[in-house]
A and B are shown apart, each in its own frame.
Chain A
């Protein structure tokens, strides 16, 4: 049996341990914010946090979640997450929006680890997330915006 914490709740699973975390969360728990984009960890639309680190849930088997703390976009509530989502709305980052859950998850993980990233840090952290609408320009700006917000809250 596989058991772990998902968005603060304990969940248990007894099916195929190879099933990707993405499909468990979407199809069995009905949390649909994380998206399917490529199935091979190349686009980032499925990004979740596993013990605070961003992972591609489409290629993370259920076995890897055992004993872990998993957060999806539905469970985001950290200070960094709030700043990121507010900045996303303030700058109207989204277009089609399909990749944006994954973008927000990666950006939040970045700010949780590095409160004042420069452009290079952003490029490094966000390179795994494809956006076909190419909202990259605003993603970069919104991460800086959120970083500024966090800095103001501290001071």
Chain B
């Protein structure tokens, strides 16, 4: 599959440094071709049947409802609330009149401004790339409504007040809905006047989540809830090793299961098509399959670790090299070394991957939660032979994603489309993976081996730092390969190569290890292991140098005021340095990811039997302007929980190439009794907003490990930690 390469300077899936300067530049570009994208509709639901005819970003209906078209996937991170709030703010709308709907797949109108020509959700960019775009759209809509009212009432525009979804002037009054048709005839302003931050009444004020009610009452619809007339359910038996193919299948017993309609073999596995989920699952279990392993990855985890460690003994591709590390080591008063092992991790979303496909003679309708709908559209077009514009993606709420629903080869969508094609669209198909399918399907956070060496000089300062990493590339060999600019996939190096601490002799190199296990971005991508490795090693070095880890961070972050500010905030809030009960310790970590800055302090109690409990977490975040503060707090809480879950109990391991784990009894996410008390502090800022979906995750692991270290004196270098310390 070949897709045009995006421009490197503003196409960011997960680049480590999305600078403010870049953001402003991108916004300015988008401003040049600004189209207001308004459509005034009486019947939004009828329009939704024809996605290409949908309005651009804002629809104002006669009943005075304002619908914001959401170009990003909401997988829990709250963009439906955040993006709607931005429009409501600039329109001076009443929050109660706001509605939302997901955009269709249409990269022309709904591209992520940071990704160039692609529509997509990822890299914590939704609010950041939409901020100016939706402010301008909202401001333009308001200006057009005011102009229409002024014209109709024969008053000056300056006399018309637009407030709470109402227009008033000289004793006249109309709702936005009343004025919508007239406003549609007004030419959009070229440069709509934006509100000043002092004028904001919604942004920064925590509007209630727009999806709380439907999600608290079971009414929210996900892919698994899509119902189409005549729809059948498909379960698919996939190869048990990565790269294996089908050798033979006996489906006699499966066909005999009541409710099973047919069994088909596809290049991706054997699909059982049935009247309902239970029959499909029963049918799948009744299959007898032999796989051809000749092209499969058959190594076990132990072998992979040996291979990774052997690579780590050799020089890697250099991503950063300041000063002269070898000289620093030669002149060091002491040296410190440490190695870290990070396992493969599954996203393990609550909704196992699924996709509904309705393949018709001249159109293919896809119903799923997708982070990159354009790829799914393209893949479906390739499989069905239909032109891309005849593939329609109907975005559904995603029951979690964390990166899993952004697959460069559309794995689970492909499964569904291939099945629909194999039956020539005889019926709409709901392709549903089991939990086991989902756990074993790959697309993991890559395994990573880190090797560190630091030099401490005569003055007990850090004079040298060498960080070497061995991990799999996420981008290499995908349509996103063009985003790699240096010798090493930045998704491996991010958060490690750009370590902010002022260290004169600094070297980062790495190897892109080869393995047949498919890997993918997993909430915070490379930061998920680089933050852990660097921040835990930092404490190791600080202790060796006889320095307080927090004070040493403060000293070495003098040139990084935003890092320093979040760090100082959590140190103050957690009373860093004050006395604690025996066996209880604090650990701190600070990390920048996706242009947001987060510091966390964790309080951990270590018991005599080596069991432990993460009791409290203090978290400070600087994400620029806080658009919806309570959603930001929620993302910090959730990001902490997700990161904690991984370091406490998650690992995917291989035995002879087969994934060992099956379900939530052996892949064990965090449960409520393991959740610490969390306090989140949002730093005041007037800088353009940056993301919050991922940045809460990287610091929690090292904060917890450093807290454990403060009690035991021993760095935790192998994850997951498990129920007891070793």
- Do A134 and B352 have beta carbons less than 8 Å apart? no
Please name all residues of chain B whose beta carbon is closer than 8 Å to the beta carbon of A43 when the two chains form the complex: 350, 435, 664
A93, B213: Cα distance in complex, Å: 10
Whether, in the assembled complex, B670 has its beta carbon less than 8 Å from a beta carbon of chain A, the answer is: yes
A74, A89, A133: the one within 8 Å of B638 (CB): A133
Q: Find out whether the CB atom of B637 lies under 8 angstroms from the CB atom of A37.
A: no
Q: C-beta contact mask, B336-367 vs A, less than 8 Å → 1, else 0?
A: 00000000000011111000000000000000
Using Cβ atoms and an 8 Å threshold, which residues of chain A touch B631? 92
Q: Report the minimum CB–CB distance from A80 to chain B (whole Å).
A: 14
Asked if B216 and A104 sit within 8 Å, CB to CB, the answer is: yes
Residue numbers in A under 8 Å from B227 (CB-CB): 30, 32
Asked whether B219 lies within 8 Å of A33 as measured between CB atoms, the reply is yes
Q: Could you say which of A30, A40, A100 contacts B216, with CB atoms under 8 Å apart?
A: A100
Contacts of A49 in B (CB 8 A): none
B663 touches A42 (CB 8 A): yes
Q: Interface residue count for A (Cβ, 8 Å)?
A: 54
Contact of B351 among A37, A93, A131, A138 (CB under 8 A): A37
Indicate whether A127 reaches chain B with its CB closer than 8 angstroms: yes
A74 to B225, CA, bound (A): 14
Least CB distance from A45 to B in Å reads 6
Assess whether A16 is interfacial by the CB under 8 Å rule.
yes
Beta-carbon contacts of B256-299 to A below 8 Å, as 1s and 0s?
A: 00100000000000000000111001000000000000000000
B534 within 8 A of A: no
B213 touches A89 (CB 8 A): yes
Q: Are A101 and B435 neighbours in the complex by a CB distance under 8 Å?
A: no
How far is A42 from B663 in the complex, measured between Cα atoms in Å?
A: 8
B-chain residues with CB within 8 Å of residue A27 when the two chains form the complex: 233, 276-278
* Cβ A97 vs Cβ B220 within 8 A: yes
- Contact present for A92 and B76 (CB under 8 Å): no
Residue pair B224, A16 in contact (C-beta under 8 Å) = no
Q: Which of B27-35, B102-110, B395-403 contacts A (4 or more CB under 8 A)?
A: B395-403
- Cβ–Cβ contact A137 & B678, under 8 A: yes
The answer on a CB contact under 8 Å between B664 and A23 is no
**CB under 8 Å from chain B, chain A span 95-114:** 95-101, 104
Please report the total number of B residues contacting A with Cβ < 8 Å: 62
Q: A117 to nearest B CB, angstroms?
A: 12
Query: What does the 1/0 interface line of A122-149 toward B look like (CB < 8 Å)?
Result: 1100110111111111111000000000
B630 touches A92 (CB 8 A): yes
Task: Report chain A residues within 8 Å CB of B224.
Answer: 32, 35-36
A36-B432, A95-B77, A136-B641 known; A122-B672 Cβ under 8 A? yes
Report how far A19 CA is from B208 CA in the complex, Å: 40
B173 located at the interface, meaning its Cβ lies under 8 Å from any Cβ of chain A in the complex: no
> Quick check: B225 and A85 within 8 Å, CB to CB?
no
CA distance A85 to B217 in the complex (A): 7
User: When the two chains form their complex, are residues A39 and B435 in contact, meaning their CB atoms are under 8 A apart?
Assistant: yes
Q: Do the beta carbons of B672 and A139 come within 8 Å of each other?
A: yes
A39 in contact with B281 given A94-B215, A137-B675 (CB within 8 Å): yes
The answer to whether the Cβ of A54 comes within 8 Å of any Cβ in the partner chain is: no
Is B350's CB under 8 angstroms from A93's CB?
Answer: no
Are A134 and B640 interface neighbours, CB within 8 A? yes
A127 cross-chain contacts in B, Cβ below 8 A: 671-673
CB of A85 within 8 A of CB of B665, answer no
Asked if B222 CB lies within 8 Å of chain A CBs, one says yes
Contact B211–A130 (Cβ < 8 Å): no
Using known A-B contacts A40-B665, A137-B677, determine if residue A95 contacts B634 with beta carbons closer than 8 Å. Answer: yes
In the complex, what residues of A have CB within 8 A of residue B258's CB?
Answer: 15-16
Option from B350, B401, B634 in Cβ contact (under 8 Å) with A35: B350
Which chain B residues (54-97) contact chain A, with CB distance < 8 Å?
75-78
Question: Which residues from B are CB-within-8-Å of A34?
Answer: 218
Determine how close the nearest CB of chain B comes to the CB of A33; give it in whole angstroms. Answer: 2
**B708 CB to nearest A CB, Å:** 20
Question: Would you call A11 an interface residue if the criterion is a C-beta within 8 Å of the partner chain's C-beta atoms?
Answer: no
16 contacts between A and B (CB under 8 A): A33-B217, A35-B224, A37-B352, A40-B664, A42-B664, A85-B217, A89-B213, A94-B209, A94-B211, A96-B401, A99-B399, A130-B669, A131-B641, A132-B402, A133-B350, A135-B638
Return the 7 tightest CB-CB contacts between A and B, nearest first: A134-B641, A33-B218, A98-B399, A96-B76, A97-B215, A95-B76, A73-B218
Extra pairs beyond A15-B258, A132-B642, A135-B634 (19, CB < 8 Å) = A16-B258, A27-B276, A32-B227, A36-B352, A38-B663, A39-B281, A40-B665, A85-B217, A93-B212, A94-B76, A96-B76, A96-B400, A97-B76, A97-B397, A98-B349, A100-B216, A127-B672, A133-B641, A135-B637
Write the residues of chain A forming the contact surface with B, with a CB cutoff of 8 angstroms: 15-16, 19-20, 23, 26-28, 30, 32-40, 42-43, 45, 72-74, 85, 88-89, 92-101, 104, 122-123, 126-127, 129-140
